[in-house]
């Protein structure tokens, strides 16, 4: 069993284990990909920003996301990507993946998607993206991130 992530106070305290810069490398059908994700507090901790940089062999795909508490009191995100797309979603249950998972769901043009972070025994962070099907969740991307700052 992994050691519990030390979460902070308040609704955005769930992000405390993710603060800082994390890096992963993966083989994909497009070749080797290196992705860095940097989580930082903004405006005195009222918001969390994510800067993700996917290096696809010199070509970069960038995501800028902001996490915060929406007008209904739910932890939500707003994401903007370098290809001009955007998405938004909210915190959801990811305990089917791991008891300490931090998961978000968003309705995308292709249907419901879920993005999940969860801890590994060695201190790294797992990240996966899944689409909802009639049979359950279909995982199509997974990375293991290691702290790089």
What pLDDT band is residue 29 in, cutting at 50, 70 and 90? Answer: confident
Q: What is the mean pLDDT of the chain?
A: 93
**pTM, two decimal places:** 0.92
> What does the pLDDT read at residue 1?
46
Model confidence pLDDT, tens digit, residues 77-127: 999 999 999 999 999 999 999 999 999 999 998 899 999 999 998 999 999
Does residue 66 contact residue 51 with C-beta atoms inside 8 Å? Answer: no
- Mean pLDDT on 21-31: 87
CA 69 – CA 11 distance, rounded (Å):
8
DSSP 22-56: EEEEEEETTEEEEEEEEEEEETTTTEEEEEEEEES
CATH superfamily of 11-147: Calycin beta-barrel core domain (2.40.128.20)
Quick one: pLDDT at residue 114? 97
Residue 92 CA to residue 75 CA, distance in Å, equals 9
Residue 141 to residue 49: CA distance in whole angstroms: 22
Task: Return the CA Rg of the chain.
Answer: 15
Give me the pLDDT at residue 3, please: 61
Give CA 26 to chain center in angstroms: 16
Residue 27's contacts (CB-CB under 8 Å, 6 or more residues apart) are 33
Domain range annotation of the chain: 11-147
Mean pLDDT across 116-140: 94
Token digits for 16? 């405390």
Residue 62 has pLDDT above 50, yes or no: yes
């Amino acid at each position: 069993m992994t050691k519990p992530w030390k979460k902070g106070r308040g609704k955005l305290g769930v992000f405390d284990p993710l603060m800082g810069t994390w890096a992963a490398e993966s083989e994909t059908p497009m070749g080797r990909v290196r992705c860095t994700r940097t989580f930082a507090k903004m405006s005195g901790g009222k918001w969390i920003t994510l800067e993700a940089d996917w290096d696809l062999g010199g070509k970069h795909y960038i995501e800028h996301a902001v996490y915060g508490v929406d007008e209904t009191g739910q932890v939500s995100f707003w994401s903007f990507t370098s290809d001009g797309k955007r998405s938004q979603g909210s915190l959801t249950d990811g305990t089917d993946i791991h008891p300490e998972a931090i998961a978000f769901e968003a309705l995308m043009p292709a249907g419901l998607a879920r993005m999940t972070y969860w801890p590994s025994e060695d201190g790294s962070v797992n990240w996966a993206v899944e689409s909802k099907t009639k049979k359950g969740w279909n995982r199509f991307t997974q990375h293991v991130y290691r702290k790089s700052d």
